[in-house]
Amino acid sequence: MARKVLTAQDLESIAAGGEIVVPLDTIVTHLANELAKSRGITIRLEDPKPAGAEPAFAAPSRTIAIGSDHGGFDLKEELKGYLGTWGYTVLDQGTTSREAVDYPDFAEAVANAVVRGDASRGIVIDSAGIGSSIAANKVPGARAALCYDRATARNSREHNDANILSLGARLIASEVAREILAAWLETPFAGGRHQKRVDKIIAIEKRHLKS
């Protein structure tokens, strides 16, 4: 059976300050989390554990998950410093050295952290950024965008509501990466006509989900 996906559209009928209960394995999209927070809606996961167990999450708006392979390690460490200076909490998903590793492992870890709500957005880095973006986008609920300048960073947020930024450490200078990251973090989703298109992306994903 395909896992349920809770989207922003599913919350439209929920009154402000209300609550919605969903199955434990439900995928809660980033847009649904943002809408729930803005309207004070509690998303509660059904849990077979005894009463008193931890309720549903709301994605920490100032927590950023970040991960890289060995090719992106140095840039990851540099960007972590900027994120801390800018007031973000960093959730480092590895790797921890320049020793050769496989980028899909770390891209998936970042995407999982974002989709679970442990972080509001994520950053994945490898030598070119392509492989990590492909891997991250295999996780339902992830929208990873490979960006190479401030214009693509802003576009990915304004038009696509990208929740994961992918960077190629060997294709852009570290200062350019910093500017891309800053633009990406400060740019809100424009909504409007773009919301319909993002909803269609989510619908495609939902149709192809398998148990």
Give the catalytic positions in this structure.
159
Of 14, 6, 2, 8, nearest in space to 196 by CA: 8
Separation of alpha carbons 47 and 186, rounded Å: 36
d(CA 123, CA 144): 9
Burial class (CB in 10 A: 0-12, 13-18, 19+), 14: middle
- Do residues 143 and 201 make contact, with C-beta atoms less than 8 angstroms apart? yes
CA distance 162 to 154: 10
